[in-house]
Each structure stands twice: as C-alpha cells, then as structure tokens.
Structure 1
C-alpha cells in the first residue's frame, strides 16, 4: 500500500499496514451474523411514538437527549471519513481495493444503523415535544455541516478510535437509560446500546486481528490514539465541554471506562507479551486511572 498522510477531507487513502482481505471478511461476516433480519429494528414500526412524554424527563435528561442526537446525526461526516481513507475506486491498487471493498460491507451496514439512531432520537424529540421540526433540523444542520477529521496516519488507528468511542457510547446509553423517566426513551436507549455493543465488537475484532498479525508494529499507533483521544465533535460543538459536564451529571459517564475493554482486547490477542505491549497496557491503564473529567 502506498503511503499517505491523513490531513482531512482530501485524503486519497490512509497509510500504514492493512490486514489481508480474508481477515477483514472474517470480522465483517461475524458482525453481520449478529444482526439477523428477525432482530433488526426500525424507526417507523418498532416504537409507539404516541407514548413519547418529555414531561417525564428532567431538564438534564432533556439536555442529554439533545446532545446525543447531535452526536448521532453527524453520521455523514463519520461515514465520509471511511469512504475517503478506504476508497473503493481506481485511486488504489487492486489488492487495496479488495481490502477496502470487504471493509465497505461493514461500513455501509454500520452507517445505516447509526443513521437509524439519529432518526430515532430526532423522532423522539419531535414526538415528545422537545423541539419543533424546522428548528431541530436547523440546529442539527448547524453542527452537521462541520467537518469531522481524525488526525491519524495509520489504518489500525481508524479501528482503534471507534473501538473506544463505540464502547464509551454504549456505556453512556446504558447509564442514561437507568436515569430517564420516560419508558419509551428507555426502550430506544436499549436498542441503541445493543447496536453500539455490536459495533464495538467489530472494531475489537479488527484491532485483535491487527495485533495477532503484526504485533509490536501496531502498538505505537494504538498508543497514539489513546494519547490523543477525544470523543466525536469535542472540537466543533460550541460549548461542548460545559454541555458534556452537564449531561454527565445526569447519567454517569467517563469515556475511559472503555479503556478497560481495549486492554482486554490486547490481552486476548497477544500470547507472549513483549516490552512494547506491556508498555501499552501500562499506558492505557494509567490514562484510565488518571482521568478525572468526563469526555
């Protein structure tokens, strides 16, 4: 694979080591099997929207719903990042195309499910009376039009980042579900958290396969993700940190809870731990222990 550097929206392809396409197919197939047609859900038919009741929510819970709607609704930016760094066109050689094409089977399903999350949260706000349609669309467009960029050079980093992000999101949805007073919103959050758990499992499989195949060669890129980690849109949403602290008061949240799951992935992937792997685990553990601020 030719080298390139991730600088934003104009990237032809990401650099670094790629997994064999057969490994990608293994992870993608395992993911797709976790969602048979009989278990899938739909915004229009899976919920009784007449039961949405914002009067059952505290002000903090309302704010949390508004916040996570913005995060989920940024799906076009997230999906574009993978389209641009793992292109499926003639800008890449044949072997890279085959790899990217296998990955695409995951990204299109993942994007569809994340878009469903955005639609469900938007529909809930409208049905519960939290927002008027045009005003909500306008507010989502305000953030949605902004670019989403990850500052990474290596392909493995584009799986490590969402491993942490998806697990952290799942954990927060579980905590928020326990806090909210509207049964319909609880039901929605159950659906969302289950999907996020499945997405995490895919990215965990990819990182595990990288470690099994390449070992120490991917340790530094993984470490870099943790060293620089910030949740999506932390640098673009106006007043992000104040808002994040407010919703963390509503339902406990600490994205470093997800770091424990990364350590488990590393331990499962490595039979005989090298000095570099030991240093990675120590670093991730230290980041977990030192974190005092949410998000």
Structure 2
C-alpha cells in the first residue's frame, strides 16, 4: 500500500496535532541554557554503568536529523504529492517540527551534561557523535500507521528508561535532566497513541497487520547501524532494570480504547503482542 492511500482524514490528524500543541504550549517548554544549574554537574557521582548509559542515550538522541528526515521523506510537504495529501502532511508537520525541537533539546542537554560533568571534552564529543550521526536511519514501512505505531512503542520505552535511570543515578543534576526528558517523551507518546487510535477507528482491521508487522520486527533506533549496539544496550538495560517490551502493554491499552468490540483479527494482534512480551 502506498502511504497516501492509507492516511486518516485531514480532520483527524489536525485534531491530534491541535490537541498536542494545546497540551504543551511553547511557553511551558524548557531550554538547555537556563533550566539546569550545570555548574553542579558531577560525573564522579555516577557508576561506570551509569556513565555508559549517558553516553549511549546521547548517541541515540543526537541522531535527530536522521529521524526528522524520515518523516519528511514519507510525509513530504512539496509537489511530489497531491493537494489532499499535502494538506494532511502539512498538518502533521506542525507536530513534527515541535517534536524535532524538543528532541534536539534532549540531545543538547545530554551533550551539555557530559561536558559540564567532566565526562567528555567538547570537541572530542562532537567528533564521536559524528561517527554515528552520519550513518543512515530508515523505517522501511509501507503503511502510514506503522510510523506512528513504531514511535508509540519507541517513545514509551524511552520514557520508561529515562524514569528508571533517573531513579538510580547518583548525580542530582543528571536526575533533573532525565526527569525533563521523560516528561517530553511521555507527551510524544500520547500524541502517537492518539494517532494510532484514530487509525484503528477509521480503518479498523485494515491496520491490524501493519501494526503486527511493527511489533514483529521492532528494533530501537540505531540497533541495526551502531557498532556494538546489542552488547551496549544489554549493559545499559541492566543499569536501570529496563526492558523495552514493557512498552507493548501500552500499545494494547491504545488498541482496547480505540476498538469498541474486538474482531478476530484484533484479538489475534493482542495475543501476538502479549506473546512477544512473554518471549522477551
């Protein structure tokens, strides 16, 4: 299926975007320069595993240009699409640019922490980030709901990890940063959950298989491109007792809220998601 043919109505995406922006006005945002007292940051208060976790999540967050480019490529706002699709994509773009700004703030906050706490020297860190930052990122999906279902799981899993890491780190400054990041990720998840719910209400069983495919092949960002990703991911998961499949429970809740009466296909999807959690 091509992307354009599987979209939800413009009114639905506009309502989801308006709701997100109304719940998170720019005035309530935060900036790296003034939100944290960086002079108190001290990586000496962290364990080796906690320092490794900070390095890892900085690399993930700093790949924002690649993530943003995916949405521009699959939801273009130019003459490569017809007028109806353009209008849909333009509404989505209002969310995407705000999301990108907030994710870029996350990347800047984590790099600033590394510098201020004594973990890394600025020029060396820039060079290290460029190694992974130059690698390509893609989500090779064919149905638009898949981009939102993927982000739903990814944003919730990231939120949960930041909360759990915050609860164990030794540096209060880092804990403050992680709290702010987790709150942003929670709002991003809420938007994705809203959109996935709308897809289920509009398209019903037609989006069940695309969502199932996302869960079946789910990988967190950079899992297929970062050298040593899996060894590193397992190490930082142990630091905060983290398992990304815990986010699947929240996908099931979205499905249950969106579907008044489960069809056989939806029942099978929920069983499959639950099985993925058990296996993991």
Give the TM-score normalised by the residue count of structure 1: 0.94
Unaligned runs of 5+ in 1: 5-13
Work out whether residues 77 and 89 of structure 2, in 8 Å CA contact, stay in contact via their aligned partners in 1: yes
TM-superposed deviation, 1:272 = 1.1
Do structure 1's residue 206 and structure 2's residue 166 form an aligned pair? no
Q: Distance in 2 between matches of 1:157 and 1:77?
A: 17
Note if 1:284 corresponds to 2:273.
yes
Distance across 1 between alignment mates of 2:107 and 2:143: 29
Map 1:175-194 to 2 at 5 A. Answer: 175-194=164-183
* 1:209-248 paired onto structure 2 within 5 Å: 209-248=198-237
In structure 2, do the counterparts of structure 1 residues 226 and 145 end up closer, same or farther at CA, with 3 Å as the change threshold?
same
SS in 1 for 2:144: coil
Alignment of 1:152-191 (within 5 A): 152-191=141-180
1:15, distance to aligned residue in structure 2 (A): 5.1
Residues 250-278 of structure 1, C-alpha deviations (whole Å, 9 max, x = no match): 11111110000000000000001100000
- Kindly indicate whether residue 30 of structure 2 is the aligned counterpart of residue 41 of structure 1: yes
Question: Equivalent residue for 1:96?
Answer: 85
Equivalenced residues, count: 280
Deviations 1:38-73 (A, max 9, x none): 421100111111010001000000000000000000
Q: Indicate conservation of the 8 Å contact 2:4/2:85, yes or no.
A: no
Where is the helix percentage greater, Structure 1 or Structure 2? 2
Q: What displacement does 1:37 show? A: 3.6
User: Hey, what's the Cα distance between the residues in 2 that align with 1:205 and 1:192?
Assistant: 20
CA distance in 2, matches of 1:37, 1:80: 23
- For 1:150 and 1:87, how far apart are their aligned partners in 2? 15
Question: How far apart in 2 are the matches of 1:69 and 1:16?
Answer: 37
Q: Report the TM-score when normalising by structure 2.
A: 0.98
Which of 54, 68, 81 is 2:57 aligned to? Answer: 68
Q: Deviations over 1:60-99 (max 9, x none)?
A: 0000000000000000000000000000001100000000
State the alpha-carbon separation in 1 of the partners of residues 26 and 207 from structure 2: 36
Task: Give the CA RMSD over aligned residues.
Answer: 0.9
Whole-Å Cα distance in 2 between the matches of residues 113 and 37 of structure 1? 10
* Deviations 1:102-149 (CA, angstroms, capped at 9, x unpaired): 000000000000000000000000000100111100110000000001
1:123 aligned onto 2:102: no
Is the partner of 1:236 in helix, strand or coil? coil
